[in-house]
């Protein structure tokens, strides 16, 4: 754990109202896929009662050259500054934090349930596992309202195409409100959808992250579906 000053290198839209922020990885900053960091704006032009620090999962993989965070751009002082600060602006990061990392025994399958921006730690895990060729069999259930809202969707589709060990089950819960074509799953992740893709529901290690209400809902669903409660690893994005 340490504190580092890093410069904003690139900013790119990864879904509607959702942006990824890339920084140079500072020497000595080591992290595991799935961990997070505290991001602090230095002397921002505006601030509010929530202050200048937010926790963000590292959406980059440890094998990537850059550090990447991604967030929904809500109308808060922190996000307004984050969205508009010039490239080259310095921020402080502290970390890494968190223990939701991919299990070591690759023979055991992993099943990930991600909703919306809760995809960030899993983008890191999946890129790391595929780049490092760990051999894990992984299924990602990824729920969004519309394809337009699904951060990193095209990247994840491409990753799944290239890696037979990875199955992507993206589902849209509000497809009728979308302009985009969608031929994949629709509706909320539920027992029936899980059972269609996971042969032995008691076997995998499960992962879920996102706003606390979503994580609680996913845990309940998994236990009802027959998952081993001790094998559910999760990260609450408290603050949402
Ligand atoms: C370990 C961890 C990892 C995290 N990873 C990520 C990540 O990868 N990406 C990410 O985006 N966030 C992540 N978060 C959450 C993040 O830290 C912020 O809390 C979140 O992004 C909200 O910040 P904000 O500036 O939009 O709202 P804040 O200013 O922090 O919001 C303050 C309060 O107002 C409410 N609020 C503000 N705007 C709205 C709105 N439009 N609608 C409803 N309620 C509102 C919030 O619910 C909150 O109670 C993570 C949190 C933790 C603890």
* DSSP conformation class of 30: -
User: Which atom number of ligand 1 is nearest to the Cα of residue 55?
Assistant: 17
Residue 36: which of 58, 21, 19 has the closest Cα? 58
DSSP state of 86: P
Cα of 240 vs centre of ligand 1, distance in Å, is 4
Q: What is the pLDDT along the chain (240 residues), one digit of tens a residue?
A: 799 999 999 999 999 999 999 999 999 999 999 999 999 999 999 999 999 999 999 999 999 999 999 999 999 999 999 999 999 999 999 999 999 999 999 999 999 999 999 999 999 999 999 999 999 999 999 999 999 999 999 999 999 999 999 999 999 999 999 999 999 999 999 999 999 999 999 999 999 999 999 999 999 999 999 999 999 999 999 888
Q: What is the pLDDT of residue 240?
A: 80
The Cα 33–Cα 11 span in angstroms is 21
- Give pLDDT, residue 174: 96
pTM, full prediction: 0.95
Residue 10: what pLDDT?
98
Ligand 1 pocket by C-beta < 6 Å: which residues?
36, 50, 54-57, 70-72, 74, 76, 78-79, 98, 117, 120, 235, 237-240
Strand 90-97 to 185-186 pairing: unpaired
List, in order of start, the domains of the chain with CATH numbers.
2-97 (2.40.30.10), 110-236 (3.40.50.80)
Contacts of 119 (CB under 8 A, 6+ apart): 59, 142, 150, 151, 152, 156
| 101-139 burial code (b ≥16 CB/10 A, e <16) | bbeeebeebbbbbbbbbbbbbbbbbbbbbbeeeeebebb
What DSSP state is assigned to residue 25? P
Other C-beta atoms closer than 10 Å to the C-beta of 92 total 16
CA distance 31 to 37: 9
DSSP-based three-state secondary structure for 103: coil
The phi, psi pair for 222, rounded to 5°, reads: -65, -45
Residues 182/147, Cβ–Cβ less than 8 Å = yes
Q: How far is it, in rounded angstroms, from Cα 172 to Cα 191?
A: 16
- Which among 54, 120, 125, 234 is the best mutation to test ligand 1's pocket, defined by most ligand atoms within 8 Å of the CB? 54
């Amino acid at each position: 754990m340490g504190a580092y000053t890093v410069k904003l290198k690139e900013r790119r839209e990864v879904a509607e109202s959702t942006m990824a922020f890339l920084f140079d990885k500072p020497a000595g900053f080591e992290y595991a896929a799935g961990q997070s960091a505290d991001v602090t704006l230095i002397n921002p032009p505006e601030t509010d009662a929530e202050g200048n620090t937010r926790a963000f999962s590292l959406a980059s993989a440890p094998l990537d050259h850059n550090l990447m965070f991604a967030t929904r751009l809500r109308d808060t002082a922190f996000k307004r500054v984050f969205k508009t600060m010039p490239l080259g602006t310095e921020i402080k990061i502290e970390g890494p934090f968190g223990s939701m990392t991919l299990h070591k025994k690759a023979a055991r399958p992993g099943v990930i349930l991600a909703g919306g921006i809760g995809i960030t730690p899993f983008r890191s895990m999946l890129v790391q596992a595929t780049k490092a060729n760990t051999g894990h069999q992984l299924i990602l259930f990824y729920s969004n309202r519309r394809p337009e809202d699904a951060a990193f969707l095209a990247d994840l589709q491409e990753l799944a195409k290239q890696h037979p060990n990875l199955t992507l089950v993206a589902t849209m819960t509000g497809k009728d409100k979308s302009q985009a074509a969608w031929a994949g799953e629709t509706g909320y992740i539920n027992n029936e959808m899980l059972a269609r893709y996971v042969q032995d529901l008691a076997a995998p290690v499960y992962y879920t992250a996102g706003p606390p209400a979503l994580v609680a809902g996913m845990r309940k669903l998994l236990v009802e579906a027959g998952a081993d409660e001790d094998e559910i690893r999760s990260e609450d994005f408290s603050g949402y």
